[in-house]
Amino acid sequence: MTKQFFGTDGIRGRTNQGAMTAATAMKVGQAAGTRFLRGTHRHRVVIGKDTRLSGYMLENALVAGFTSVGMDVVLTGPLPTPAIALMTRELRADVGVMISASHNPYEDNGIKLFGPDGFKLSDEDELAIEAMLAQDLPLADAPDIGRARRIEDARGRYIHAVKASLPSTVRLDGLKIAVDCANGAAYQVAPSAFWELGAEVIAVGVSPNGKNINDRCGSTHVDLLQETVVSSGADIGIALDGDADRLIVVDEKGQVVDGDQIMALIGTQLAARGQLRGGGVVATVMSNLGLERFLQGQGLTLERTKVGDRHVLERMRQGGFNVGGEQSGHMILLDHATTGDGTVAALQVLAALVQSGKRASELLHLFDPVPQLLRNVRFSGGKPLEEQSVKAAIADAEASLDGKGRLVIRPSGTEPVIRVMAEGDDAGEVEAAVASICQAVEEAAA
């Protein structure tokens, strides 16, 4: 069965349109609640959110849905996605919910669901919940309707857990850090965690108003952080996205360090200490060929998956890996979290910076990425990738890059866009390959 609501990272869309309405959110609460009503104990769900205006509406709708089928609700307020995964486990909840559209603009929102183990739901659970959305579900009898309460110490619990990812001997004294929280879910917890470990913190993107999340700030818009690092003389810059499961770093010169370089650093640091499991790192097909070559030179492997952190996580769990992520900045460190956690990953980078005594520009650029180009082609309908003209253009491009690079073409899981990526040792060949395929897609979709 094909999913109609769940995409690569939960349910996501434009608020008050399509699936992202209060009515649908309430139904999701009822369906997910019914799915996880297992056993005779009093059932519980943890619900967190980022700072979007629509979070209030969706939060209330989900509370109505879950309580109507007999689940108690614990509300945390704005917290990063990994914090909700953590709280779900810590509170022995049956399910966790994060209301967020991650790096998307404020007009969008989403619903991410976690099982009682703190991991994102399996395809089986998502399909079961989708099937229930079209059904009239049994509601709880009046005495069994759930209650809702808000806990006030959730931020402190998460900050404690984040700091515990480092040895107690590691301090950040003497380090000047610029951190951009994207006016999102980590606007309070991330600067506090860094400060409590001794760093001097310059925080931007920490004034959410419901509409400015990811607006020219955060991990997808690093200009603000680059300017802040250089103008303040910071040692390093940390950029998170709206729900703080992504990390992008800026060195002291203002140069951007993406997820591939971060994975290279964390992976080799753990390998040197004998703590890297699985013999390498897990990343997606979008990670740069330079990362793969670098890891091979260190005697490590790079395992590739389809795009999406859930695919990375699935392979990590199957193969016993403890480091994985995406070039875009999703960092999954299974020794410390069950999902991507930008703040935890940032602390591993900061600890390495302190312990090495190097400047960020020396420590964080471990390999030279090969030329890589990604372009998005929007289309209004049909299936352009099934057209013969597009298939022929792809075949020609693959032949031109044979043995010298890679080609990745995929439809977006969240919008009507074809993503065309090529990389290789020759920048001209890469650009020509992408241009020819994009032209073929545009013509087929016209």
Decide: helix, strand or coil at residue 60: helix
Catalytic residue, candidates 100, 102, 400, 436: 102
Active site residue 356: no
Listed residue (353, 342, 361, 364) closest to 175, CA to CA? 353
DSSP state of 146: -
SS3 state at 401: helix
Cα 32 from Cα 40, distance rounded (Å)? 17
Task: Using alpha carbons only, give the angle 88, 93, 97 rounded to the nearest 5 degrees.
Answer: 55
DSSP 147-173: -EEE-S-HHHHHHHHHHTTS-TT---T
> Which of 345, 70, 296 lies closest to 186, judged by CA?
345
Give the neighbor-by-neighbor strand order of the sheet with 6-7: 6-7, 10-14, 108-114, 95-99, 44-49, 72-78, 148-150
State the pairing for strand pair 323-325/331-333: antiparallel
CB neighbourhood size of 150 (10 A): 11
Distance between CA 269 and CA 404 in Å, rounded?
Answer: 29
State the CB neighbour count (10 A cutoff) for residue 12: 24
What distance in Å separates the CA atoms of residue 134 and residue 242, rounded to the nearest whole number?
31
Strand pairing category for 176-180 and 236-240 = parallel
H or E element in which residue 436 lies: helix 427-445
Structure token digits, residue 291: 């990362």
Closest CA to 306 of 331, 287, 280: 287
Cα–Cα dist 296/300, whole Å: 5
Q: Which residues participate in catalysis according to the annotation? A: 102
